[in-house]
Amino acid sequence: MTKHQQILTFIKRLAIGSKVSVRFIAKELDVSEGTAYRAIKEAEAKGFVRSIPKVGTIRIEGVKERQIEDLTLREVSQIAEGVVICGFDYLDRSPNKFLIAAMEIDSMDRFLEDGALCIVGNRQDVQMYVLKHNASLLITGGLEPDEEVVALARQNQLVIIQSPYDTFSVTTMINRALYDRLIQKELILVEDIMVKDVSYLTVDATVDDWRKLSQTTDHSRFPVVDNDMMLTGIVSALDVAGADVKTRIVDVMSTNPFLVGRDDPVTHISRIMVWEGWEIAVVADQGKLIGILSLQDVIEAYQQVQKQPQFGETVDNLVLSGFRYVDDAEHLTIEGEITNAMVNDYGSASCGVIVTVMNMAGYIGLRKKYRLDAITENFTLYQLQPIAVGTEIKVTAKLLLVAKRHCNIEVEVTVKDAVVAKGLMTARIGDKKLVG
């Protein structure tokens, strides 16, 4: 964990109402005041603290960010076309867990938790047990709950929803609603993760100004703007190295920074940053500086995306989900079956699917077998025979050539030792070999 992340964690753990100051953070965590200041500003942007005039910066109770898979009990009742029996005042709560009561009561302890929603039929014993554990009820089959059950729900301030559908149908409807939300999730844009409070230098600044700003912020790269905040360049430690302190920044800065827009998708920008070696992207709107984006910001954004349940359901992962590794001392080899989802209208394996499998086998081979970090630059398919659905295939990646910045891999697809597809993959090698 970086110093910056440690400070944010420290602030989150402070009691609500505590005063937060740069000097306090710097002293408690033994960091520079510049580092403490930046972390407090980010905490304010995230809603952990608030600056109050004549009072100072105070730790506040931030608003819980709603995850895309969160459904309120009101939405659940609408999805299941249910009737709310009690708990109208609590319908805006989001259940933290869905549970189907398809087990004996003794086995439910490990699954039940406060704030859950239990989907159950006409099992009064289960209904009472669930309510005693502070979980709400979704009763299926259009069955009326007993007065004793309703009374307990009201006493514990819980919700009871009655749906006319059976348990399987209700579960399917909820799953479908969650899935629809996930596929409607928008791409992460630059504006979503960029740093808006940017440290910058003006065109009349000197190298001495750069050094002072670098010491204050612990950063080394700064955008350079004119009096109207129009971007003119970017300056780094490499640019000012060896220059006199009185040298003007405009005389040493780079006039061609990596420029992006606020609405650019992060997935596209990240590929360019990795491919071209950019550590910083400057965000501008009609030439005016509005933010900055670092490669670290992109990595942290992807770490958050990975926590979402839809992450990993990419085309590549879905295609390779049925494949497994083969013990091969010489080459990287995987094998699997051509499924119905992988064929074209003629019942043969789709060309796109085969290329995906071959390319991924080459990529996995580079990382797992040959300990090389690389990005596919070109893939040429020069042999392909029809492969019927249900056929077991074996895909083998063979390293042919390793140059300074590139490598070539031959990938073969075989069926019962007969070659049915062959391709050549060219990849650009990263700066370092993978370790561990």
pLDDT in tens, the chain (436 residues): 567 778 888 888 888 778 888 888 888 888 888 888 888 888 887 777 887 766 678 887 654 444 445 678 988 998 888 899 999 888 888 888 888 888 888 888 878 888 899 999 989 999 999 999 999 999 999 888 999 999 999 999 999 999 999 998 898 888 877 766 655 554 577 887 888 888 999 999 999 999 999 998 888 899 999 988 899 999 998 899 889 999 999 999 999 899 999 888 877 787 777 667 788 899 998 889 999 998 877 777 665 555 444 444 456 666 776 788 887 778 888 899 998 888 887 788 899 889 999 988 888 777 766 666 678 889 999 889 999 988 999 999 998 988 878 889 999 999 999 999 999 999 887 654 444 4
> Quick one: pLDDT at residue 361?
87
> Quick one: pLDDT at residue 277?
72
> Quick one: pLDDT at residue 409?
92
Is the pTM value of this prediction over 0.85? no
Half-sphere CA count of 224, side-chain side, radius 13 A: 24
Half-sphere CA count of 242, side-chain side, radius 13 A: 2
